[in-house]
Amino acid sequence: MTSEIQTKTSFLHDPSNPNLRFLEEVSAHTAGVSRLEMCIQCGTCGGSCPPAADMDHTPRMLFAMIRAGFREEALSSNTPWICVSCYHCVVRCPQGVHIADVMYTLKSMAIRAKLYQDSTAPDFSRSFVDNIEKYGRSYEFGLATRHYLKHFPLRLPGMAPMGFGMLTKQRMDIMPHKIDNIDQLQAILERAKEVEGLS
């Protein structure tokens, strides 16, 4: 199956067509083989998606936009940010498109192009990753308080009982936990960023 696709993607290498470059770029930044060119626009993904109502485009429409080369429109869509990674669409897709992973790709491309509409989600990811890069572990208390303070200050009072509960039930550590060999992890991530062309 993979080989079939790899032969097919070679058809996309048409330097004269800038629209196809966006599709290629998205495919290149996706972890597995995206299979975006296989989408038949059946809508199984949009039908399966639990939070579809909150998206400004269904996944299927987004794929059509990617294939048409509508770069800015696609990267500023809120759709990837609403995706809850439930993988219903992935297992149901009759064409085997790696939908959830394409959503991750679009997020990372939107962050790089600064095209996201709402900074809540990118900020959350950033804060989460900052903690990991610093400690090697996630740090829920720091993350949740910082994040809610910034983005949902009015909700904090409502959330307080829950946060209080989590603390008293000893389900949240006030202090972060750091792994022993954090230097090694940081060196790895540094090198990874070089490979990715990020640093």
Partner 1 sequence: MTEQDQFEPVIIGFTCNWCSYRAADLAGTARVKYPPNVRLIRLMCSGRLDPTFVMKALASGADGVLITGCHPGECHYIEQNYKALRRYQLLKRVFAQLGIEPQRVKLVWASAAEGVKLAHEITTMVEEVRALGPLHWGASNGREVHDHLPTEDMELPEEAEVMA
Partner 2 sequence: MTGPFDSASKSPERIGVYVCHCGTNIAGVVDVAEVRDWTEKRLKGRGVIIARDYKFMCSSLGQEMIEKDIQKLGLTRVVVAACSPHLHEQTFRNACQRGGLNPYLSELVSIREQVSWVHTDKHAATDKAKAVVSGGVERVIKNEPLEPLRVPINEATLVVGGGIAGIQAALEIADAGFPVYLVEREPSIGGHMAQFDKTFPTLDCAACILTPRMVSAGTHRHITLMTWSEVENVSGYVGNFTVTIRKRARYVNTELCTGCGICQEKCPKKVIDQIYEAGMGYRKAVYTPFPQAVPRYPVIDKPNCTYFSKGTCKACEKFCPTNAIDFNQQDELITVQVGNIILATGYDLFNARRIPHYGYGRLANVYTNLEFERLSNAAGPTNGEIVLRDGKTKPKSVGIIHCVGSRDRNYNNYCSAICCMQSLKFAHLVHERTGATVYNFYIDIRTTAKAYDEFYQRVLEEGTLFVRGRVAEVTDAARKPEEEGRLIIQVEDTLAGKQRRIPVDMVILSAGLEPRKDAKETAKLFGISCSADGWYIEKHPKLDPVATMTEGIFIAGCNTGPKDIPNTVSQGAAAAARVLGRIQQKEIFIEPVRASVNQDKCSGCRICNNLCPFNAISFIEDRKVTEINAALCQGCGTCVAACPAGAISGTVFSNEQVLSQIDGLLMLNLEYMKEAPELVAV
Partner 3 sequence: MNDKYLYYPGCSMESSAKAYSESLAAICEPIGLHLEEINDWNCCGATEYIGISLTPAYSLITRNLALASLQADGTRTVVAPCSACYLNLAKADYYMQERPILGENVNTALAAGGLHYDPGSLFIRHLLDVIINDIGLDKVKSKVVRPLTGLRVAPYLGCMVPRPDYEHRWSNPEYPNELDRLLKTLGAEVIDFPLKTHCCGGHMTQIGPNTAFELIRRLVSSADQYRAEVMVTLGPMCQMNIDAYQGEMNRHFHTDYRMPIIFFTQLMGLAFGLNAKQLGFGRELVGTREMLQRIGVEAPEPIEAVPAHKPRMKEGLPMPRMPGDEEVN
Q: Which residues bind partner 2 (CB under 8 A)?
A: 40-49, 52-53, 57-58, 60-61, 88, 91-92, 94-96
Of 7 and 181, nearer to partner 1 (C-beta) is: 7
Residue 11 contact partner, candidates partner 1, partner 3, partner 2, none, CB within 5 to 8 A by sort of partner: none
Q: What residues from 2 to 61 belong to the interface with partner 1 (CB under 8 A)?
A: 3-4, 7
Site string for partner 3, 53-92 (x = CB under 8 A): -x-------------------------xxx-xxxxx-xx-
Q: For the beta carbon of residue 100, count every other beta carbon within 10 angstroms.
A: 20
Q: Is 147 within 8 Å of 187 (Cβ atoms)?
A: no
**Alpha-carbon dihedral sign for residues 39, 86, 53, 24:** negative
- Residues in contact with partner 3, counted by CB under 8 A, come to a total of 71
Q: How far is the CB of 159 from partner 2 (least distance, A)?
A: 25
Interface residue with partner 3 among 14, 17, 155, 156 (CB under 8 A) is: 155
Tokens of 110: 């939107």
* Positions in 104-163 near partner 1 (CB under 8 A): none
The DSSP annotation for 166-180 comes to HHHTT-S-SS----T
**Distance of alpha carbon 196 from its chain centroid, rounded?**
16
3-class DSSP state of 156? helix
13 lies in the site for partner 3, by CB under 8 A: no
Separation in Å, CA 121 to CA 81, 128, 139, 150: 7, 11, 17, 12
Site for partner 1, rule CB under 8 A: 3-4, 7
